[in-house]
Amino acid sequence: MTFEALKQDVEAIISQTTATVDERLLSICKLLEQHIDYYNWVGFYFKNGDKNELKLGPYVGEPTDHIIIPFGKGICGQVAVSNENFVVPDVSAQDNYIACSITVKAEIVIPIFVNNENIGQIDIDSNTPNPFTPEDERFLEFVCQKVAEILN
């Protein structure tokens, strides 16, 4: 399935107002994991109240021990501080990487902004080395913009 086709599915999920926000986020995780073969773990992290840490939200994939991630730690924690996309083609080359699974080879994290504030992110792990393209980044930015609409 192309990114363009997936965009329509994401918009359909976002517009399901009878579902809770978490149900819709989980549906997006499932959609991406099922239709993009190199997306092996898909989840959301959100700022944990007033604390300088992220808390795991809905996700699909292997269970993780990383329920709480301090700002600045790992790829997700760095995105919480930098407010910028972070694409990691080879996690073994990253000094500040939190290993979730020995099978993970690459990661992409895109921040979610509500009212110009970084309130969370989508995090995707891949078991494929260097799979993420600029098209993945643009698509995931679209997903985060749509998610931001239901977090207002």
> Domain containing 74: what range?
3-151
pTM over 0.85: yes
Q: How many domains does the chain have?
A: 1
pLDDT (0 to 100) of residue 1: 73
- Strand order from edge to edge, sheet including 53-60: 68-70, 53-60, 41-47, 117-126, 106-114, 86-88
How far is C-alpha 44 from the geometric centre of its chain's CA atoms? Answer: 5
The enclosing domain of 76 has a CATH number of 3.30.450.40
d(CA 22, CA 9): 17
Lowest-confidence pick of 13-17, 62-66, 92-96, 110-114: 92-96
pLDDT digits (tens, 9 = 90+) for 95-150: 767 666 778 999 999 999 999 999 999 999 999 999 999 999 999 999 999 999 99
